[in-house]
Amino acid sequence: MIASIQGQVIQIGEDNLVVEVGGIGYLVYVTAFLVQSQRRGETVSLFTHLVVREDSLTLFGFQEQEEVSLFQELIKVNGVGPRLALETLSTHNPDVIKRAVLNKQEEIFAQVSGIGRKTAQKILLSLEDRISFTDEMVFSPETAGINAEVQQALVTLGYSVLEAQAALQALPDDAPLDLETRLTLSLRFFS
């Protein structure tokens, strides 16, 4: 098993990087965030998961070990393959995914291209006993609802789902629970 890879980025694709290590270029499928953050010629260090199929060996790379663990749990879910698991991690960061599982928010998974209601429910059922949570991840239903509205408003304003989630995570714990205030505070994240 290839557990990690470190080398120079020699090519950047739509959903992958070619990382040169010792004169060999490895094609590594990565999240959208990683594709956007990399530059040709830079050195990258990734934690990896190798998917072995009868006709292929496919390498998936992540910045954090937590992402690899979550990826491995997602691909255990019936109906979720490696590409869909990667798409899930490209749409939502690990904290958002864990929070969605903890708060049973199937609509978070339904935002991922290729995941319908039934698959979202399977993910929730499968992951609820397999991943660990922190106390900060517990949202009241009211907070979860307001945050979903703020996220939707930010996306409507042109920010990506990942940017919107980052802004929401940066909100102070004592932020008021009204839409207008939370949206204003979230917009400050981008200035």
The Cα 137–Cα 33 span in angstroms is 22
User: Which token pair is 62?
Assistant: 């992540």
- The answer to whether the CB of 186 falls within 8 A of the CB of 171 is yes
The Cα 50–Cα 58 span in angstroms is 6
Q: b/e per residue, 87-122, with b = 16+ CB within 10 A?
A: bbbbbbbbebbbbbbbbebbebbebbeebeeebbeb
- The answer to whether the CB of 57 falls within 8 A of the CB of 51 is yes
So what's the pLDDT on residue 102? Answer: 83
* Structural domains of the chain, with CATH: 4-62 (2.40.50.140), 65-136 (1.10.150.20), 139-188 (no CATH)
> pLDDT in tens for each of the 191 residues of the chain?
789 999 999 999 999 999 999 999 999 999 998 999 999 999 999 999 999 999 999 999 999 999 999 999 999 999 999 999 999 999 888 888 888 888 788 888 888 999 999 999 999 999 988 876 554 445 555 676 777 788 888 888 888 877 887 787 777 777 787 788 888 888 888 87
